[in-house]
Amino acid sequence: MIKILEILRFAGCGLGIFLAYSYGETPEEILRIMTPWFVGSIAGLSAIEGLFFAREAAAEKGFEQGSNYQRQNSFWFFAVAIVSLIIYFAGWNEYANITIVLILCFFLIMSAANHTYSIFIDKNIKWQNVIRPFLTLLFTLVFWYPVTAILFR
């Protein structure tokens, strides 16, 4: 099930990019379309993974299993996903979208640093652990254009 959730995360993000750049004509529209797909795919599916498949997810990443921190982290992901959907359906402006993207982005950057630490210090070379820094870089780059275009106009 963990592999299926991982595939769904990639598919959701990919679909978000496709839809945003196919139908979005301005940085604001691109951001508005892409944000719920990325945040929903990453945070929403990570919440499901952590809440319903916690032991399997931890084993897949090479981390301890069944900790309260893992459950708490899953609730955080769930909250971010819900807020992203509220922002989308309520039609809040681009700064609300930028805020939720930056929150998730900075969390993922810190998480990637933790995964990198685990690679070198704990010798944890599980695929999901090794790939996290690269996926975080891609996530950051995908949002670079719409976010900077809006903030620095």
User: What confidence score (pLDDT) does residue 29 get?
Assistant: 97
pTM (predicted TM-score): 0.87
**What's at 142, amino acid-wise?**
V
Burial of 47 (0-12, 13-18, 19+ CB in 10 A): buried
- Residue 61 pLDDT > 90: no
- The confidence score (pLDDT) of residue 57 equals 82
The better pLDDT of the pair 27, 63 is held by 27
Task: Output the pLDDT for position 12.
Answer: 97
* Cβ-proximal residues to 80 (8 Å cutoff; 6+ apart), any chain: 39, 43, 100, 103, 104, 107
pLDDT in tens, 94-132: 999 999 999 999 999 999 999 999 999 999 898 888 998
Give me the pLDDT at residue 90, please: 97
Q: Is 118 helix (H, G, I), strand (E, B) or coil?
A: helix
